[in-house]
Amino acid sequence: MISTALEEYLTAARVRQLLELDELLRFPSISTDPAHAEDVAATAAWLADHMRAVGLENVRIIPTRRHPLVYGDWLHAGADQPTLLIYGHYDVQPVDPLGQWHSAPFAPEVREGKLYARGAADDKGQTFIHLKAVEALLATEGALPVNVKFILEGEEEIGSGSLLEFVPRETDLLAADAGLVSDSHILSPEQPSLLYGLRGMWAGEVTVTGPATDLHSGSYGGVIHNPNQALAELLAALHDEDGRITVPGFYADVRPLDEAERAALAQVPYGEAEILSESGAPALWGESEYIPVERTGARPTLEINGMWGGYTGDGFKTVIPSRAGAKISCRLVPDQDPEDIGRKLTDYLQALAPSTVTVDVRAIHTGQWFITTLDAPALQAAAAAYEQVFGRAPVYTREGGGIPVVALFQQALDIPMVLMGFGLPDDNLHAPNEKLDVGNFYRGIATSIVFMQELAAPAEGGDRS
Ligand code: BES
Ligand code: MN
Ligand code: MN
C-alpha cells in the first residue's frame, strides 16, 4: 500500500524524477559501436553516482572486457526478509535511420504524454523506475521492505557476454530469493501483463561468394551465377509457403504446447487487429495453425535481418558482385538448443549451396530461452502489485524478444524471475521514435514499491520468497 507520506513524496518528486531520467537518456550508450565505448562508460558512472544518491550502498562499477557492470545494494531489511535482485541494462541500440526521428534520439522530448528518446523504454527508463522506487521508500520510511541488490549491464543489446561470464562466478554476491526485470511491455495501461516466457536465439551471418572480383554484368551475365541471386535462392528455400522453416530437424526439440496453455494464451487480448494497427503492415504472415501470441511467444522463427550485395546507391551500376550476404536470426523456444540450431542451419545452407558459389556461415551470438511456472509467490506478489496500481489483474503471456541473462539468473541463482514490464507494445524499440509513456513511468514507480511490500514476509514470519 502506498502510504500518504509516500504518495505526497511521489507527487512532489514527479517533475524532478522525469528530469533525472532525461539526463540519463542523453548519454548515447550504444554498446555495439566501439566509437561510443566512452559514452557507455560515462553512463555507468552516472548510474553509480545516482545509486549512491538514492541511498544504495556498496555501489561499484565492475570493469569487464567490454562494457562495465554496475552493482549496488541495500541489505538492512533483516535476515528474515527476502532479498530481491533487480536487473536492467543501460546500453541502447543504434539510432539509424536518423532521418525518421521526429526529435533527436539523445535529446529527450515529451509529446502528448510520451517521452521520446533512444533507451526511453529499452531499457534505461524501465531500470530507472526501480531506482526511483528505492529513493522514495528510503526518503519517506528510511528503509526498504526487503533486501535489494541491483545489477546493471551495458552489453544486453550485444548478447550480454560479460554478464553471462560474471553470474556463475559471483553467485554469492548476487545471491537472492527472487529476481526482477523490467525490460518488456504490458498490453496496455488498462491491461497489465506478466511474462512467463522469453525466446532464445541463434544469430549469424551467411556469405555467398562467386567470382573472385566484381564483374561487368553485360560481359558475364548468362555464364556466371550472380551471388545476389544465389543468396536469394538460398534464403527463399528456408521457409515453405505455409511459413514453416524447412531446415531439417529445426522443430525436433520444440516442446509441444498443451491444451491448457493454448486455452490460456487464447484469452490474451492481443491479436491480429492490434498487430496490424501497431505495425502498419497490410496483412499477417506465418503459421496459420497457431494464433499470433503463440507465433510470437511460443513458436520458433527464422528472420532475415539484413541483406547486402551489389550496387544499391543512387542511379545504376550493371555489376555482378563477387559476394553477397545476409544476417539471419532464429528465435528459439523450449527445448531448442541454440548451438544445435546453428549447426542444423549451417549444414542445410551448405547442402543447398549450388556448385556455382561457395557459402560460408558464421555464428555471431546465441541466447537461452526462458520459461517459468506461475506458482512462485514472487509472481503472485507482482500480480498483486499490478492489480493495486493499474486497477486490473495481469494476464500471463510469453514474449518473442529475448533477454539473455534471465534464464541464467534462474538456473545459477535458483530464483524465480519476475518479468514486470512498464513499456507498451508500440514503444518503437530498436526503431526510430522510441518512447516511454510518462504515465507508465509513474505507475511503474508505484508498482515497484508495492511489489517490494508484497514480497516482504508478513510480520508473523511467513515466507513469500
Ligand atoms: N528488451 C528487449 C527484449 C524484449 C523486447 C523483451 C520486447 C520483451 C519485449 C531486449 O533489450 C532486446 O532487444 N533483446 C535482444 C537480444 C539481443 C541478444 C540482441 C532481442 O531480443 O533481439
Ligand atoms: Mn531491453
Ligand atoms: Mn533491446
256-291 pLDDT tens trace: 999 999 999 999 999 999 999 999 999 999 999 999
Mean pLDDT of the chain: 97
Q: Are residues 66 and 132 in the same domain?
A: yes
Residue 461 lies in a domain: no
pLDDT digits over 165-181, tens only? 999 999 999 999 999 99
Q: Please state the rounded mean pLDDT for residues 363-388.
A: 96
Same domain, 82 and 150: yes
Q: How confident is the model at residue 457 (pLDDT cuts 50, 70, 90)?
A: confident
Strand partners, 214: none
Regarding whether 271 and 307 lie in a shared domain, the answer is no
Give me the residues near ligand 2 (ion), CB cutoff below 5 Å. Answer: 122-123, 183
Predicted local confidence at residue 459, as pLDDT: 66
In a domain, 35, yes or no: yes
Which ligand approaches the C-alpha of residue 184 most closely? 1
In the predicted structure, residue 462 carries a pLDDT above the cut 50:
no
Residue nearest to atom 16 of ligand 1 (CA): 402
Ligand 1 pocket, residue 423 CB under 6 Å:
no
**270, 292, 314 - which closes a domain:** 292
- Any catalytic annotation for residue 347? no
How does pLDDT run across 231-252, given as a tens digit for each residue?
A: 999 999 999 999 999 999 999 9
* Residue 460 pLDDT: 54
pLDDT band at 303 (very low <50, low <70, confident <90, very high): very high
Verify whether ligand 1 is closer than 6 Å to residue 399 (CB atom). Answer: yes
Residue 228's alpha-carbon distances to 225, 231, 325, in angstroms, are 9, 5, 8
Distance 429 CA to ligand 2 centre (A): 8
Q: Write down the pLDDT at residue 458.
A: 81
Asked, for residue 445, whether it belongs to a domain, the answer is: yes
User: What pLDDT digit, counting tens, does each position of 33-55 carry?
Assistant: 999 999 999 999 999 999 999 99
Query: Is 340 known to be catalytic?
Result: no
- Do 206 and 336 lie in one domain? The reply is yes
Q: Tens of pLDDT along 387-417?
A: 999 999 999 999 999 999 999 999 999 999 9
3-state secondary structure the chain: CCCHHHHHHHHHHHHHHHHHHHHHHCCCCECCCHHHHHHHHHHHHHHHHHHHHHCCEEEEEECCCCCCEEEEEECCCCCCCCEEEEEEECCECCCCCHHHCCCCCCCCEEECCEEECCCCCCCHHHHHHHHHHHHHHHHHHCCCCCEEEEEEECCHHHCCHHHHHHHHHCHHHHCCCEEEECCCECCECCECEEEEEECEEEEEEEEEECCCCCEEHHHHECCECCHHHHHHHHHHCCECCCCCECCCCCCCCCCCCCHHHHHHHHCCCCCHHHHHHHHCCCCCCCCCCCCHHHHHHCCCEEEEEEEEECCCCCCCCCEECCEEEEEEEEEECCCCCHHHHHHHHHHHHHHHCCCCCEEEEEEEEEECCEECCCCCHHHHHHHHHHHHHHCCCCEEEEECCCCCHHHHHHHHHCCCEEECCCECCCCCCCCCCCEEEHHHHHHHHHHHHHHHHHHCCCCCCCCCC
Q: Based on the domain organization, do 172 and 206 belong to the same domain?
A: no
Cβ–ligand 1 distance for 366 under 6 Å, the answer: no
CATH number of 362's domain? 3.30.70.360
Query: Which CATH number do you get for residue 78?
Result: 3.40.630.10
Compute the average pLDDT of residues 197-203: 97
**How many domains, in total, are found in the chain?**
3
Ligand 1 atom index nearest CA of 430: 13
Cα of 45 vs its chain's centroid, Å: 23
pLDDT for res 461: 45
Of 327, 343, 367, the last residue of a domain is 367
Which atom of ligand 1 is closest in space to residue 93's alpha carbon? 13
pLDDT band of residue 190 (cuts 50, 70, 90) is very high
**10 and 148 inside one domain:** yes
Evaluate if residue 465 carries a pLDDT over 80: no
Angstrom CA distances, 115 to 10, 18, 19, 111, 422, stand at: 19, 9, 11, 7, 13
Reported as a single tens digit per residue, the pLDDT across 131-160 is 999 999 999 999 999 999 999 999 999 999
Task: Determine, yes or no, domain membership for 86.
Answer: yes
For residue 286, what are the domain limits? 256-292
Question: pLDDT tens across 316-352, in order?
Answer: 999 999 999 999 999 999 999 999 999 999 999 999 9
The answer to whether residue 391 sits within a structural domain is yes
Give the per-residue pLDDT at 221: 98
What's residue 79's pLDDT? 94
What is the Å distance from ligand 1's center to 414 Cα?
23
Ligand 3 geometric centre to CA of 458 (Å): 37
Answer yes or no: is pLDDT of 87 > 80.
yes
Average of pLDDT values for 429-439?
A: 98
Is 462 part of a structural domain of the chain? no
Residues 179, 139: one domain?
Answer: yes
pTM of the model: 0.94
User: Ion ligand 3 — residues with CB under 5 Å?
Assistant: 122
In a domain, 464, yes or no: no
Is residue 390 situated within a structural domain? Answer: yes
Active-site entry in 39, 156, 177, 399: 156
